Structure 1
Amino acid sequence: MHYRNVCALPARTDGRMITARVGEVGAVMLPIDVGHPLHIRLRQLLASCPVMSHADKMLTFLTHGGFGSDPSGKALLAGQGGRLVEDGHQISLPSPITETTGNLRWAEPPVDAFRPRTDTVLEILAFQTNPNRMRYERRLI
Structure 2
Amino acid sequence: MDHIMFGDTPVSRCIFYRRVCDLPANIDPPSLGRIIMKATHVWALTMPTPLGQAVKHDMGRRGTAVGPIVAHPRSARWTYLIRPDVPDDVPLFADLFRHNVSVIREGGTVALPSPTPQSGAIRQWIEPPRDTFRPSGLVVIASIRACVAPCRMRAVSHV
Q: Tell me which interval the TM-score lies in, with the shorter structure as reference length.
A: 0.7 to 0.9
Q: Residue deviations 1:44-89, cap 9 Å, x none?
A: 4223411100021000000012534222331232111121123202
- RMSD between aligned alpha carbons? 2.4
Q: 2:26 aligns with which of 7, 12, 17?
A: 12
Q: Find the aligned partners of 2:64 and 2:141 in 1 and give their Cα distance.
A: 14
Q: Secondary structure at the residue paired with 1:96?
A: coil
Matches within 5 A, 1:23-42: 23-42=40-59
| Distance across 1 between alignment mates of 2:65 and 2:131 | 10
If the length of structure 1 is used for normalisation, what is the TM-score?
A: 0.83
Distance between the aligned counterparts of 2:101 and 2:65, measured in 1?
A: 24
Of 73-82 and 123-132, the range deviating more from structure 2:
123-132
Query: Aligned pair count?
Result: 138
SS at match of 2:81: strand
The structure-2 alpha-carbon separation of the partners of 1:98 and 1:83, relative to structure 1 and needing over 3 Å to count, comes to: farther
Q: Pick closer, same or farther for the CA change 1:13–1:49 going to 2, 3 Å.
A: same
TM-score normalised by length of structure 2: 0.75
Asked if structure 2 preserves the Cα contact closer than 8 Å seen for 1:31 and 1:82, the reply is yes
Q: Give the gaps of 5 or more residues in structure 1.
A: none
Deviations 1:17-66 (A, max 9, x none): 21111132111000011111101222342234111000210000000125
Q: Give the aligned partner of residue 102 of structure 1.
A: 121
Matching residue of 1:49: 67
Larger Rg: 2
Cα–Cα, structure 1 residues 123 and 72, in superposed 2: closer, same or farther, change >3 Å? farther
Residues 13 and 100 of structure 1: CA distance in aligned 2, closer, same or farther (over 3 Å): closer
Higher relative strand content:
1
Shift of 1:13: 2.0
**Corresponding letter in the other structure for 1:37:** A
